[in-house]
Structures are given as structure tokens and as C-alpha cells.
Structure 1
């Protein structure tokens, strides 16, 4: 291998520090940024990466893994004997059915396709069911195969350009719904394929809302993969496209606000506090301009969600005290969606753990589990907190974390 080539995490016996440096560089994060987000000095990061300091203890390793969005802990530690998935959850039993529907071509189907209006009505029912359900992936896994096949057929059998555009708009939204099911499951290639198909369908539809939703989900996927520059570029381009259209329709305004909030999360994950809160301010303006009581069924964007977004910004910036203050100021009970409420509880738990309140963090994760078990089971941040607290020196914390670990399926052989 050439001397200037990047070592392969999977082929070379690399030390912890080397792995950390490779993963940090791939994320485009400088040592000072990583140090600041870890509460360490840049010299400490440099010493770790050079091997002058050995691998830190588990809590610090887990926080590094979270910061660098390490999918499997062995990618960072090099220990392949006991791989631990952090940001990839278990495969849902209905994953094969959804995968088969995505892969189907519907070339030889002779039945009459449903209208775009019919698909749109089923989509509205599916979104509502998802928000009500504690086990929302089970609900989506049951509905998606039929929706995907029917929406594909609607586009194939469209007779006019207008019908085809309408079909592409609902097909794009079906793919958006599928991304909520596929996120953090062990088939990343399928998730990206669905995201790309949704983006193409949205562009073919020429529908501003469909294009905005596809862009928002693309930003989420890029950020979760650590592609921060791509997430920022997509958000900026989509917001530019929607700039003259956001006043025309609350749905378009809501997706623009969601894109602004998401841009804030991306900036926060890069350690850019000023930019992060600036984006939050812009999203707050959008939320306040929405009709009273409006709640977007796809992104959950609304006035009710802005407190939750503030918690996430503070947590991503690793500002423990500020994140706890934001958690205290937010009101999860105003969030009507069970999975979104559970996600907010997880963000609150991250805040409390950052602030050194481990017991409160575990209690908050228990509340997340009560709201939507299938949200917390697939959430890498929750899994990291639970795993860390199973190593706590306080017996009560270890016991509480062990119960959660069993509920989340983390103790399975």
C-alpha cells in the first residue's frame, strides 16, 4: 500500500488512536472541534491519535463513537470478538417484505392501478397510524409493501403528463414513508436506494412539497452517515428552491422550517454553535408563521416541536447545562406523535447524561420506551447511554440499565 494511502479499517491491525484519526478525518472534523465536543483539549486528542495515550475507558470510547457516528464499536476499537452495533438496530421481521416490494418492477401486472388520489388517502391514513402507534415500524411494515407496489403501478399506468406528475408526487411520499421504516436497520444500501428513488420521483413530479421532503430526508441520511458537507449543500439548495414558494402553502413552509432545523443540527454536530442557533432561529420564525395547531405529518415540524429541536441543538453541541435548561423549558406532552415524543425523550436523556445526571437519564429513557419501544430500540444514542451505564460503579444504575438493555434486545446472543 502506498505510504500516503488511507489505511483500511478492516484490513490492517490498527491501534485505537489510528482508527480514531481515520474516522475523524472521514467526518471532516478537526482535532479542536472533536476536543471541544468531548470536553477535552486538542493536545489530548493528538496524544490519543498518536498512541502516546492508550485507549480511554469505556464511557469515553462510547462518546467518541457517538461523536464520530461509528456504526459498530469494533470499527473504533478494532476488537472484532464482541461487535456492538450502536447506530444500526435489529432487522425488523417485516424488512424482507418491504425489500421485496422496493425491488419489484411491476412490469407484468395487469390489474388496474389505483388513482393518485387513492394512494394519497392511504398515505394520510398511514402517517396518522404511525404517529399513534407505539410499535410504529410494525404498522409501517404491514402497510408499505402494498403502498409501494400500488404507487409504482400508478406511475406506470399514467395516461397524461399531469397524471404522471401526480403519481410521481405520491410515489415520492411513499418512499419517504419507507425511509422512516428502513432507518437504522441493517440494510443501508436499501435505505439509500429508496432515498434516491424518492428524490428522482419528487423531481419528476415538480411538486415543491415533494421536492422539499425528499431533500429533508436526504439531509437526514447524509448527516447520520457523517456527510456533513453534503447535508449542508442539499439543505441550502432546497431552501433556495423553496424561497419563493414557502408563503404559498403551509406544507411548503413547514418543510422549509424542517430543513432549517435540520441545518441547525448539522452545524451543531460540527461544533458550530453560532450557525446552529442561527438556523434554529430561522426555523422558529417559520414555525410561528404556520397556522395555529398545524403539525406536519411527515417531519413533525410545528410550534410544538421547536423546544425539542432546541434540546437537540444543545445536545449536539455537547452543552450539558444548556441542554438541560432547554429540556426543562420544553414540553414533550405537546408533541402528538408517539415516535417523535419518544425521540425527544431520548434527546432529553442525552442532555441529562451530559450534565452528569445518569439516574435521570435512565428514567427518561424508560419514558421513551413507554412512548414508543420501536423508536428507542433503533436509536444509537439511547443504546450508547444504556451500554455506558451497564458499566456504572453505582449498582442501582447498573441494574436499571440492565433492564433497559434487555428490553432493547442488547443482551441477545
Structure 2
């Protein structure tokens, strides 16, 4: 980039920053750079040539890449031919956000300058993050978190004491969403880190149930890492502590949701370990808790209720190799009111059950249905990709175009 090009680019950055009412320090904090770096970019001194840095800067400014730099590869400008919505549907940006500390500047120079009028916007953004998570819209989620996490981390350190508890709570919920998304994208190491941060933030918020929700997310990260001993220890310890309180008739429904979800998490651990009776015992305990609640709820974004328990029971049966039982449980399930992720998960597990029974047509139909509902789930989930690969082996050279297409999209050809 020539010196004239750098100055024009810097002027564009400055204009976009002012349009968003951001200071140089706020923009720098949102993208993990220093205010001095932003200042040098805007004055045309610091070149920005790397595509990943351009994308990071575009995310911080809240604009598409082609608006910031039309000539960038993949920006969708003239002669490039790559649409903006063709961006990878992954969590690379989110991984970068948690790969370090997001508020180093206020650690070095402590201050209290948080604007309380920003709180409503932060609340709305956290709600949106969970909507994206439940919808398996990971590319949008990653972009949203690129600025939200640093802003929350800064806010909790610069707000007055009276607001810190709420912001810690928002931060806990955000990290919980990150942990859930990382698990679904098979990024278990990042999920572990996000869950641990969620636990800490919930504790600082004084949210005792939020701490247990963080443990729930941690259990799923351990399962994905195949650390089943750690997963069992974390889930059992949390249940032993919380379940005693849940036996009281007056237990609040939010606490019941957490207890029931931990039973389901422990059922998954036992299923992955091949411990059939222990897994079924936990499913039955979750059913008992769900019966006390009586309806589908989404306390702490756990999606716990009678129907969700049966969806998890199907998944548990599939992991245990009990395909017939899984299909029987699912026979009369109506999941139309559940989240996109849960609907897709059920179809994916039914596809796996049909694979186990060598029911080729039914398996492909369910996996294609799951892909239609939530493509990212099928394309990234190890079990789903394994089922597609198994179908390809079963079909051999006679594999249909539909199956070959699914295998290619899932990267399951190898």
C-alpha cells in the first residue's frame, strides 16, 4: 500500500470510527490493539496489509470487509467475486478474542469511566448472542463476540461498584454461550477456557446458580476432550452439592432446571463410557425433575424440560448403541417448539440410529434434514461426520449425488 493509499485508508477508518461514536481507545480495546496503533493507522503511518487484521478491524468498526477495504481479497469488491455471506462459518474470531486478556489497558491504568447508558445495549447484545448460539449461526456469533467480549471485560473494570455485579453476570452468560458454541464446533480446548471464565464471572456476580451452569458447560468440554474422569468428577460434585437443595418442595424452578441439566450431562458422560445402567439412571432422574417443572423452559439457556429430556435420551441411547430404543423414544416426540439446535440434534441422532440399523435411506433422510435445519452442526460434529462417512462406505460406488454432496459439505470423504 502506497503512502497515499495508507492516508486514504486511515481517513476511512477514522470516519467509520466516528460514525460509531467510538474513541480510538475504545476501538483499540475492541480489537486487541493499542490506541497508539489505531492513531498511526488513521494518520497513514501504520500499514494494514494482512487480511486477518483487516477483518478484525472491520469487525471492530461494525462494517463488512468490502466497506473498509474494497480491494481486499475475498471482500466481494469488483473483480474479486466472493460474496460477503460466503464467509467461513466458524469461530476463528472468537478464539482470538479469548486468546489473551481483553482489557490490558485498564489493568495498566485503572479508571472508572463506564457510561451507564450503555448497559441496555449490552443486555440486548448478550440476548442476541444466545439467539445466534441456539440457532447454530456461528459466523455471526463469532463476529458479534469479537467486540462484545472486550467491551464487557473493559466495562466490568471501569464501571462503578453498583453496576459491576450485573456486568459480571452478563460476562458470565457471554462466556457460557461461547463454551456452548465451541463444544458444538468441536473446539473443546477453547470451550474449557470459556467455561472456566464463565464460572469465575458468575461467582463475582454473586450468581450461585450461574456457577453451576458454568460447571455444566465445563462438563461438555471435558466430554469432547474425552476426559471422562474429569467430566464425571465435575458433574457429580456439582450434583452432590446442588441436588440436596432441590429435594425441597419449595425449590425454585430455575434451580430445578440446573439440576436436571446436570443429570443429563452426567448421563452423557456415562453413555460415552459405555456404562448403560448408570446412564439410564441419570436420564430417569432428569425425567423426574422435568416432571416437577412440567413445561419446556430455557432457564440459563439450558433448554430443560420434558421434551428436551427425551431428546437427550435419544442421544444417550445412540451413544450406547441402542438404536431401536432411540427410535422408539423419538416416535411421538414433537420438537417443533424447541430451538433450531435441538431440532437438528434430534434429526442427526436419528440419522445415526438408522446407520446403526443399516437403514440407508432413512439415515440419509434424517441427516439431510438435520443439515437443512442447522448446517454447521452436521458439518462440524464428529458423530455426524462419522455417520456420513459410514453411509459412504455402505454405498460405495453406488452413492447417490445427495449423499456425495453431503459428504463433501461435511468434509467426510476421507
The normalised TM-score by structure 2 is: 0.69
Alignment counterpart, residue 106 of structure 1, candidates 94, 103, 108: 103
Structure 1 residues 184 and 282: CA distance shift in structure 2, 3 A? closer
How many angstroms apart in 2 are the aligned matches of 1:332 and 1:397?
30
Give SS of 2:331's match.
helix
Deviation for aligned residue 1:266: 1.1
- 2:342 match: 340
How many angstroms apart in 1 are the aligned matches of 2:231 and 2:92? 29
Q: Per the alignment, in what secondary structure is the counterpart of residue 114 of structure 2?
A: coil
Question: Is the 8 Å Cα contact of residues 179 and 190 (structure 2) preserved in structure 1?
Answer: no
After superposition, what is the alpha-carbon deviation per residue over 1:53-110, rounded to whole angstroms, capped at 9, x for unaligned? xxxxxxxxxxxxxxxxxxxxxxxxxxxxxxxxxxxxxx95663432333234323367
What's the counterpart of residue 124 of structure 1?
Answer: 127
1:364-393: CA deviations, max 9, x gaps? 000001111111111111101111222224
Distance 1:272 1:410 in 2: 29
Unaligned runs of 5+ in 1: 1-90
The alpha-carbon distance between structure 1 residues 280 and 363, as it changes in their structure 2 partners (threshold 3 A), is same
1:222 paired residue number:
222
| SS class of match (1:339) | helix
Cα separation, 2, equivalents of 1:186 and 1:309: 18
Partner Cα distance (2:413, 2:273) in 1: 32
Which residue in 1 is equivalent to 2:153? 152
Q: 1:253 aligns with which of 252, 256, 266?
A: 256
Say whether the 8 Å CA contact 2:323–2:357 is kept in structure 1: yes
- In structure 1, what is the Cα distance between the partners aligned to 2:299 and 2:365? 29
Gaps of 5+ in 2: 1-86
Q: Indicate the residue corresponding to 2:141 in structure 1.
A: 140
Distance 1:124 1:242, change over 3 A: farther
* 2:171 counterpart residue number: 171
State the distance in 2 between where 1:187 and 1:228 align.
Answer: 16
Aligned to 1:81: none
CA distance in 1, matches of 2:176, 2:95: 14
The answer as to whether partners of 1:208 and 1:245 remain within 8 angstroms in 2 is no
1:236 Cα deviation after fit:
1.7
Q: Once the two structures are superposed, what CA deviation does each residue of 1:299-337 show, in whole Å capped at 9, x if it has no partner?
A: 2212221221111121111112212212324333342x1
The verdict on how the C-alpha distance between 1:295 and 1:304 changes in structure 2, with shifts beyond 3 A counting, is farther
Count of residue correspondences: 318
Matched, 1:378 2:374: no
Cα distance, 1:271–1:129 mapped onto 2, change above 3 Å: closer
Q: Distance in 2 between matches of 1:328 and 1:276?
A: 21
- Tell me if the contact between 2:179 and 2:191 (Cα under 8 Å) persists in the aligned partners: yes
Q: 2:91 aligns with which of 66, 88, 95?
A: 95
Matched residues in 2 for 1:261 and 1:362: separation?
Answer: 27
Moved more, 146-155 or 386-395: 386-395
Question: CA 1:119–1:286 in 2, change beyond 3 Å: closer, same or farther?
Answer: farther
Q: Is the 8 A contact 1:320 1:354 kept in 2?
A: yes
**Is the contact made by 1:391 and 1:398 (CA closer than 8 Å) also made in structure 2?**
no
Q: Does 1:182 align with 2:182?
A: yes
CA distance in 1, matches of 2:301, 2:286: 16
State the structure with bigger RCO (CA 8 A, min sep 6), 1 or 2: 1
Output the aligned Cα RMSD. 2.7
Q: Distance in 2 between matches of 1:140 and 1:317?
A: 32
Q: Distance in 2 between matches of 1:143 and 1:291?
A: 34
Q: In 2, Cα distance between the equivalents of 1:350 and 1:124? A: 32
CA deviation string 1:191-220 (max 9, x = no partner): 332222222222333312211210101111
TM (norm. structure 1) is: 0.69
CA distance in 1, matches of 2:216, 2:129: 19
Distance in structure 2 (CA, Å) of the matches to 1:348 and 1:404: 16
Larger radius of gyration: 2
Task: Give 1:264 shift.
Answer: 0.9
The correspondence for 2:280, drawn from 268, 277, 280, is 277
